[in-house]
A = this chain, B = another copy of it.
Amino acid sequence: MRIAVDAMGGDFAPKEIVRGALEAAKKYDCEILLVGDEEKIRTELHGENIDALHISIVHAAEVIGMNEHPAEAVRAKKDASVVVATRLVKDGTCDAVFSAGSTGAAVAAAQLILRRIKGVGRPAIATPMPTPDGVTLMLDSGANVDSKPEHIVQSAVMGSFYAQYVFGVRRPRIGLLNIGEEATKGNEQAKETYELLAAERNIHFCGNAEGRDVPKGSFDVVVCDGFVGNVVLKFAEGLAKTILGLIKEEVRSGGLMAKLGALLLVPTLRRLGKRLDVREYGGAPLLGVDGCCVIGHGSSDAKSVASAIGATVDYVNGKVLDQIREALAKEERSNA
């Protein structure tokens, strides 16, 4: 299996991306093509023993920045790292692409180059959110806004296959993010979506999920509009960071006893951090495009990159795309 890695995307690129790719190449059965500025990548690889690893470099002269207009930049910069990496999947050289750069650019490159799977109206980003017993997959967490009810239903079908074939959940429980448990609750979009989800045979729809059900893990997959999902995702990141900051501040101002207590709790807190750390759960697949594309967090360090590449390997091995293609083709036939 070959994975194209956008070496220039992310707040700590190329250093952390290259380090993470090395870690992944050691850990998983895959070949990695680092895409980006050859000289900079070589500098990062300098001194590393990569003889036994399947790592190569594909030069790409340009980079798409965080503040560029995604679709325009993808069209204008034919030689941008994320564009070149995505093309490697399109032409069959690679099985998947991973980028921790501008999410918008990765989505635009995937949409323009890989195109959507036949029958899919809108692709969706599926983000694994940590819960006490594993993860809840939340989608769409920001590929699109103003989703139509049928797009949210397709997200549910795609997310269900991902949870089944990548996470190994036998019969994923699907929930619709809403403001109450009853079928009649919510805005117009949610009410219409509820009806469609209840009638969809490819999934095990379990009803409405309230905001609290996401961290609780009451569902395996929670679907929502991309606007709502993105707000929730960033809120979660912000809240976790705020709480950690407050703990540090309180310990610092808490005197000797608090410091000693914190010291004794280090292994516990570390284990807790591991369970809550999004980095442990790897990247977020962009479901609905015709090729494996996985998106990493902008602040990814080597550890997150390695874990995301691991998720990418599982994604390819799970043959999720085949499942989605087949299910949606069947749906098209039965609608015709």
Contact = CB atoms under 8 A, between A and B. Distances in A.
B230 A215 contact: no
Contacts of A250: 268-269, 271-272
B211 A238 contact: yes
Interface residues of A, number: 60
B268 A264 contact: no
A168 interface: no
Report the 7 A-B pairs with minimum CB-CB distance, sorted nearest first. Answer: A212-B238, A261-B264, A211-B234, A211-B235, A261-B265, A145-B187, A215-B242
A297 to B, nearest CB: 12
Interface stretch (A45-53, A197-205, A252-260, A286-294): A252-260
Interface of A: 131-132, 142, 145-146, 177-179, 186-188, 190, 210-216, 224-228, 230-243, 245-247, 249-251, 254, 257-258, 260-265, 267-269, 271-272, 275-276
Nearest to A265: B261
Contact of A212 (B179, B241, B247, B269): B241
A138 to B, nearest CB: 10
Given A228-B227, A235-B236, A236-B211, A260 B264 contact: yes
Nearest to A225: B187
A238 B258 contact: no
A246 B211 contact: no
Given A145-B186, A146-B187, A234 B212 contact: yes
A263 to B, nearest CB: 7
A212 B236 CA distance: 7
A272 B258 contact: no
A258 B272 CA distance: 12
Contact of A231 (B179, B241, B268): B179
Contact of A179 (B230, B243, B264): B230
Nearest to A264: B261
Contacts of A249: 132
A145 B186 CA distance: 7
Given A211-B231, A211-B237, A179 B261 contact: no
Given A131-B242, A227-B228, A214 B235 contact: yes
Given A243-B243, A243-B276, A271-B250, A177 B212 contact: no
Given A211-B230, A234-B210, A265 B276 contact: no
23 contacts: A145-B186, A146-B187, A179-B231, A187-B225, A211-B235, A211-B236, A211-B237, A211-B238, A214-B235, A216-B242, A236-B239, A246-B275, A247-B268, A250-B271, A250-B272, A254-B267, A257-B264, A258-B264, A258-B265, A258-B267, A261-B262, A261-B268, A262-B265
A179 B239 contact: no
Contacts of A210: 231, 234, 238
A264 B188 CA distance: 51
A265 B260 CA distance: 8
A135 to B, nearest CB: 13
Given A234-B211, A264-B257, A246 B132 contact: yes
A227 B177 CA distance: 10
B251 A268 contact: yes
